[in-house]
Structure 1
Amino acid sequence: MNIFNYHPRASHRVNVGDKPLGGDSPLRLQSMTTCATTNTEGCVAQAEAIIRAGGDYIRLTTQGTIEAENLRNIRNELRRRGYDHPLVADVHFNPNVADTAAAIVEKVRINPGNYVDPARTFKQVDYTDEEYAEELRRLEERFKRLLAICREHGTALRIGVNHGSLSDRIMCRYGNTPEGIVESCMEFLRVCVKENFSNVVVSIKASNTAVMVRSVRLLCHTMRHEGMDFPLHLGVTEAGEGEDGRIKSAVGIGALLADGIGDTLRVSLSEAPEKEIPVAYKLAAYITSTRGGHPEIPATPCPAFDYLRPQRRTTCPVHGIGGNHPPVVVSARLDGDQRTGGLKPDYVYCGRRLPLPKERIAGAGYIVDADAWTGETGTWPAYTPAMLFAVGANPAPLKFLFVNYLSLNDEVKACLRRHPEMVVIAQTNHPNRTGELRALVHELWNDNIPAPVIFCLHYACTSDEKEDFQLRAAADMGGLLFDALTDGILLVNQAPAGQKGISHAETDETAFGILQAARTRTTKTEYISCPGCGRTLYDLQGTIARIKAATAHLTGLKIGIMGCIVNGPGEMADADYGYVGAARGKISLYRGKTCVEKNIPAEEAVEKLLALIEKDQQ
């Protein structure tokens, strides 16, 4: 693939009722009901809300045969009300349920990790090659029965791999790796190809965005190598809610969309189902509107770069920037406003307007235009290509250079070679921001210039468009972060004249949120919470609010809040603590992957979780 220029990945068309996806179809958006699937009226009402919000598909959890059979009543009532939107049955643990659902709805999702394999137990089993082959034969024989039913009824199939529910068989041979995730999917796809069944969509989801993006990249490569072009469904599972959930989803989904990957998507938020659709629409519309038909970016990828398994580019560390240091956050404060929120930037770019020492943000370094820099302690000069003649006379041990891809000429490169104390602040006004910034870093890399690079992105959103700003910045930065090219972020937002913009504090917090969402720098507690569905066994949204209110001050923890056991212990496998629905009104608590207390009454569970965390923090 061309990592600098946007070209949508080719996929074949899959028929899902009257709304096909893949091929030349538009990006399809979907959400999932949270009512019990036996509650016909509740599911219909939620489906209507999803449709009114702009959703194309409605997914419903289907735990058993009773729920599967009731899909017919839900479908019939929606048709009676004039809706023809496809329904998708979400099936785990029971292949017989998938068979039943496939004769009723337009699409069935199965999870390779628990379709014929039992629920993941984290046990270690050593398979001989013969035993492994026998397991695959058993899988194929059972799966072919479902394919026959889907073929008979014109039903589409989604093979949906979840990082948190890989089978013990896959885990024991491949481990909890992108390679294992991809192989879990490919086992089923190979049967589909063998049976000449192509009405299949594929998804790989994880709460860890780095795992999700790397796995999908590897899946695309593997499918292409084996001559497959199945369309892809994108999503970051257990993304959470509020701003964190939106940023995390945009970082992961946006990184793939920006590379032309994806045919349908869901933004999984721990909120009402219909609230997911506008977020998904904004994200999809931004990528397709800015990337499609953009001016070509002439660039050569560095041979040392591995798109499938990226390693951080080697740079010369300068004052905590680059090298093995986590990416820094730079804040643009050209208006003199020094107010901050809960997170303070590492550096402040103030142009020519250096505030008095007593007004400055404590602990932050100040970047001043070189022709106005006086050498004051804690301040550093910033150059442009037109000012390079003066660099050699400046003794500062840290200097910055604002540069864009087109201005990265031989003179600039020579200056960077002579002055290893210089940090590049890379700017772009290209429609494909990700592509042009990639090109700039790859040119430095090809020329063996190890200068750290801070990416500077400009936006023009009003205070009412804060969500738009967060989604756009996260989507633009996602690919750069997962490529491991980022030594820092500088987000600049300037609202149109006469309109109120987003505050500097909100802009900085977005930058920190993007870094945390990509797992490159942790500055606050991360909440891995599922969006809820008909399997959810307690008040999910209320519980999330209570846990967040009590733990938000804890830096660096990851807390999983799961509605049920389907993905619970697995999806939160790298979480420090887990809160998982075990039965109706009952909760189990986890420390890492270990269950420490089972079947706690829901009204007592939050306090017990907090007591567990407090005890461990002592």
Structure 2
Amino acid sequence: MQPYCHSRFKAVRRVTREVMVGPVGVGGNNPIRTQSMTTSLTPDVEATVKQCIRLAEAGCEIVRITAPNKAAAEALGPIRKQFSAAGFANVPLVADIHFLPSAAMVAVEHVEKIRVNPGNYADKKKFAVLEYTDKAYEEEMERLHESFTPLVLRAKELGRALRIGTNHGSLSDRIMNRYGDTPMGMVESALEFIRIAESHNFHNIILSMKASNPKVMIQAYRMVVDKMNDEGMNYPLHLGVTEAGEGEDARIKSAVGIGALLYDGLGDTIRVSLTEDPWFEVPVCQELVKRAHAHWEQSATLPDTKRHEDHASFYEYKRREIIDLSFGEDAPLGPLQPPRVITTAGRPLSEHAQIIKDVLNVNRKFKDAKVEGLLIRVENDDDLPHLAQLQKVLSPTIEAIVVECSQNVSPQALEDFNWSDQLRWMFVCNFKEDCLKHAHEWAVKHNFLLALDTSAHQVLEWKDTIQELGDEHFVFTRTGVPEDTHPTGAYRALGDALKEIGSKSPLWIRVTPAMQVLEETGFGNQLIEASMVAGSLFVDGLGDLISIENVDQFDQRTALAYNLLQGARMRATKTEFVACPSCGRTLFDLQEVTQRIKSRTGHLKGVTIAVMGCIVNGPGEMADADFGYVGGAPNKINLYVGKECVKFNIPEAESLDRLVDLISEHGKWVEPEVIAETAEV
């Protein structure tokens, strides 16, 4: 038993109580429920009902509506009636409450669930108190108990559900002062409210621990489960990465965070937060749910295998320790280096001219996301002349060539080949232990790397030999999945085995077609699959090289690897955008404004820009952002540097220019033309 999940090698669903949200059960034996949120102004009843209907027709099982004030909360009455009259009485509605208990008390009369943000609910954000004494803290808790109790009692009387929805970006004064802006602070913020509810014997509760940083989000969910276990709680979990943004990047970031937890058996309802029309969120939720249930069903048939101790750090990010090696002249491997990207050629070597064209096209197209290593397969001796042409043309362009050889290639032909020392060479090996020493001698002779495609079991069996040969010429990887685990579990087990024998050789994460739990085609499905497998590993500190091999197109394989590394906060090769989904609180058109900001600033490598529709979560969720663009009032924008607001109430028409000026003032602005010229040199 692990502290927060049944197994980190089998996807065994966590057992929770069933919470009824109207007629829809969440947790228990129910399937994972999909959610989304309307973006219309809530008092516009007609528009909000239309959005609710469209979401339900898209397959959304629970619909959330913002209720920032009493007027919006009162509008929930006619919205519920009209939505039911349209044939959707079985689809529950949720009121999203942040600051006002008075709005919550109105909303609870009309909808099936109330979402309360414990950092905002009846709380202040002035940070006037710099240090809370135990007595002052107790007084704050008494005040909170008094403010929250009426909602709990009314929800209990009406049979409503409550979601205690913690956001990393909106923790209260007392939590920030005592715990800081940390996952533990998020957990304690939720537990404060749960304990109040339980004091009234109310248990119809769902929890969420959302953050825009998948690492923080995953750690917080794991930690809250651990703490609930300690206190005998078994509440269902609502999963989500908040402020994920839009497009592929948002889908990657969401699949990394949500997928990692689903692999661990955690999660009972999910929402994918996109800065897009809300009905586009539903298919992404459904794809994640489909994969989670496939893994959970598959795990029921897997044998129980006793495994050695898991060496991962569950509640804080800690990268696996490795030695410093070279993957090419400009691509070092090491504990302080970003993971390196390998792209599989996807063509036979006889098509070497097209392979060369693919590589050069990608390197021109992406500039900062180039092919660093090229994975090719040598089928027989006749392929070696084509390999010679490949290395001749590409040696100035890429760092390394990774070679998989079939058994039809003669050892003598390999020995006679003229291996260019302008490239780093790595050979993928899958053989018995008695061949390992010979392969190692050959690698030392030519200064090659050997990528051992092996299992955790083999590593432990070969312990003495691996320790004798040392770490300097080995990389470890997996291309398949053992019968007793899932893809993430296979790599976790391999990382554990390397830790156990004291090996600090790098780990290469390969996402192969054999690792897909569902045999589906299409880039969207492949993106989600790759993000779930590799993203969760990088969040756990595993992975020094990556190759995405389940994607059809060469350029998509390369781009997805870099985008996945950026989504997992492992490597920045472009501007990072933190953008909230639209809702009824938003003070400008988030989709249109986000696109304008991206078109103007999207070339700024390594700069993080937050685009927030309002101030509810904005300043807090910008904890990791360099600059923030936040709706402060209708047609007015506030600009932030980090969490500090430095420009107030700028007219929206001038706001993008002022943002660029602010970036320039802090030395982060580079003209697009300058980047293009540098890339050509």
Task: Quickly name the TM-score band, shorter chain normalised.
Answer: over 0.9
SS of the counterpart of 1:31? strand
SS of the counterpart of 2:427? strand
Cα deviations by residue, 1:217-237 (Å, 9 ceiling, x for unpaired): 100100001100010000000
Match of 1:375 in 2: 419
Letter in 1 for 2:342: V
For residue 594 of structure 1, report the CA deviation from its aligned partner: 1.5
- C-alpha distance in structure 2 between counterparts of 1:598 and 1:585, whole Å: 12
Match of 1:31 among 32, 36, 42: 36
Match of 1:475 among 522, 527, 532: 532
For residue 542 of structure 1, report the CA deviation from its aligned partner: 0.7
Cα deviations by residue, 1:150-198 (Å, 9 ceiling, x for unpaired): 0111110000000000011100011111111111011111112222101
1:313 aligned onto 2:313:
no
Cα distance, 1:231–1:517 mapped onto 2, change above 3 Å? same
Match of 2:442 among 387, 390, 393: 393
- C-alpha distance in structure 2 between counterparts of 1:147 and 1:122, whole Å: 27
Match of 1:498 in 2: none
Letter in 1 for 2:96: D
Q: Is the 8 A contact 2:39 2:582 kept in 1?
A: yes
Match of 2:512 in 1: 458
- C-alpha distance in structure 1 between counterparts of 2:634 and 2:428, whole Å: 62
Cα deviations by residue, 1:474-519 (Å, 9 ceiling, x for unpaired): 011232112112212111126xxxxxxx311111111111111111
Q: Is the 8 A contact 1:107 1:155 kept in 2?
A: yes
Q: Is the 8 A contact 2:11 2:262 kept in 1?
A: no
Aligned positions of 1:175-186 closer than 5 A = 175-186=180-191
Cα distance, 1:444–1:146 mapped onto 2, change above 3 Å? same
Report how many aligned residue pairs link the two structures: 610
Q: Is the 8 A contact 1:92 1:566 kept in 2?
A: yes
After the TM superposition, which of the residue ranges 171-180 and 292-301 deviates more from structure 2?
292-301
For residue 249 of structure 1, report the CA deviation from its aligned partner: 0.5
Cα deviations by residue, 1:232-256 (Å, 9 ceiling, x for unpaired): 0000000000000000000001010
Q: Is the 8 A contact 2:376 2:403 kept in 1?
A: yes
Match of 1:97 in 2: 103
After the TM superposition, which of the residue ranges 244-253 and 319-328 deviates more from structure 2?
319-328
- C-alpha distance in structure 2 between counterparts of 1:44 and 1:581, whole Å: 25
SS of the counterpart of 1:292? helix
Letter in 2 for 1:416: I
SS of the counterpart of 1:537? coil
Match of 1:331 in 2: 343
- C-alpha distance in structure 1 between counterparts of 2:588 and 2:42, whole Å: 16
- C-alpha distance in structure 1 between counterparts of 2:396 and 2:201, whole Å: 63
Q: Is the 8 A contact 1:557 1:576 kept in 2?
A: yes
SS of the counterpart of 2:666? helix
Match of 1:499 in 2: none
Match of 1:384 in 2: 429
Match of 1:441 in 2: 495
- C-alpha distance in structure 2 between counterparts of 1:481 and 1:359, whole Å: 29
Letter in 2 for 1:477: A
After the TM superposition, which of the residue ranges 597-606 and 579-588 deviates more from structure 2?
597-606
Q: Is the 8 A contact 2:345 2:376 kept in 1?
A: yes
Q: Is the 8 A contact 1:11 1:22 kept in 2?
A: yes
Calculate percent identity across the aligned residue pairs. 39
- C-alpha distance in structure 1 between counterparts of 2:51 and 2:452, whole Å: 50
CA RMSD of superposed structures (Å): 2.0
- C-alpha distance in structure 2 between counterparts of 1:464 and 1:605, whole Å: 42
Match of 1:575 in 2: 625
For residue 284 of structure 1, report the CA deviation from its aligned partner: 1.4
Match of 2:650 in 1: 600
Q: Is the 8 A contact 2:530 2:550 kept in 1?
A: no
SS of the counterpart of 1:43? helix
- C-alpha distance in structure 2 between counterparts of 1:368 and 1:375, whole Å: 12
For residue 303 of structure 1, report the CA deviation from its aligned partner: 5.8
For residue 121 of structure 1, report the CA deviation from its aligned partner: 3.6
After the TM superposition, which of the residue ranges 70-79 and 390-399 deviates more from structure 2?
390-399
1:242 aligned onto 2:293:
no
For residue 205 of structure 1, report the CA deviation from its aligned partner: 0.4
- C-alpha distance in structure 1 between counterparts of 2:656 and 2:164, whole Å: 35
Match of 1:88 in 2: 94
Letter in 2 for 1:541: Q
Letter in 1 for 2:174: R
Match of 2:563 in 1: 513
- C-alpha distance in structure 1 between counterparts of 2:526 and 2:84, whole Å: 38
Match of 1:270 in 2: 275
For residue 398 of structure 1, report the CA deviation from its aligned partner: 4.1
Cα distance, 1:153–1:159 mapped onto 2, change above 3 Å? same
For residue 425 of structure 1, report the CA deviation from its aligned partner: 2.4
The structure with more radius of gyration? 2
1:527 aligned onto 2:571:
no
Q: Is the 8 A contact 1:4 1:297 kept in 2?
A: no
Cα deviations by residue, 1:315-364 (Å, 9 ceiling, x for unpaired): 22221224332211111114142421412132111222631422457142
- C-alpha distance in structure 1 between counterparts of 2:62 and 2:92, whole Å: 5
For residue 42 of structure 1, report the CA deviation from its aligned partner: 0.6
Match of 2:307 among 285, 290, 300: 300
- C-alpha distance in structure 1 between counterparts of 2:396 and 2:248, whole Å: 25
Aligned positions of 1:31-430 closer than 5 A = 31-84=36-89, 85-118=91-124, 120-122=125-127, 125-294=130-299, 295-296=302-303, 298=305, 300-302=307-309, 304-319=311-326, 320-335=332-347, 336=352, 337-338=355-356, 339=358, 340=362, 341-342=365-366, 343-352=369-378, 354=387, 355-359=390-394, 362-369=397-404, 372=414, 374-377=418-421, 378-386=423-431, 387-388=435-436, 389-394=438-443, 395-405=445-455, 408-409=458-459, 412-417=462-467, 418-421=469-472, 422-430=474-482
- C-alpha distance in structure 1 between counterparts of 2:646 and 2:218, whole Å: 32
SS of the counterpart of 1:81? helix
Q: Is the 8 A contact 2:97 2:116 kept in 1?
A: yes
- C-alpha distance in structure 1 between counterparts of 2:460 and 2:233, whole Å: 43
Match of 1:497 in 2: none
Letter in 1 for 2:120: N
- C-alpha distance in structure 1 between counterparts of 2:306 and 2:395, whole Å: 40
For residue 411 of structure 1, report the CA deviation from its aligned partner: 6.5
For residue 397 of structure 1, report the CA deviation from its aligned partner: 3.3
- C-alpha distance in structure 1 between counterparts of 2:396 and 2:203, whole Å: 58
Letter in 2 for 1:313: R
Letter in 2 for 1:423: V
1:556 aligned onto 2:606:
yes
Q: Is the 8 A contact 2:68 2:98 kept in 1?
A: yes
- C-alpha distance in structure 1 between counterparts of 2:459 and 2:505, whole Å: 15
Letter in 2 for 1:453: L
Cα distance, 1:194–1:374 mapped onto 2, change above 3 Å? farther
For residue 396 of structure 1, report the CA deviation from its aligned partner: 3.5
Cα distance, 1:301–1:326 mapped onto 2, change above 3 Å? farther
Q: Is the 8 A contact 1:427 1:437 kept in 2?
A: no
- C-alpha distance in structure 2 between counterparts of 1:470 and 1:451, whole Å: 28
- C-alpha distance in structure 2 between counterparts of 1:240 and 1:525, whole Å: 12
For residue 124 of structure 1, report the CA deviation from its aligned partner: 5.2
SS of the counterpart of 1:15? strand
Q: Is the 8 A contact 1:140 1:191 kept in 2?
A: yes
For residue 99 of structure 1, report the CA deviation from its aligned partner: 1.0
Cα deviations by residue, 1:427-472 (Å, 9 ceiling, x for unpaired): 2235711111111111121122222111111138999711111111
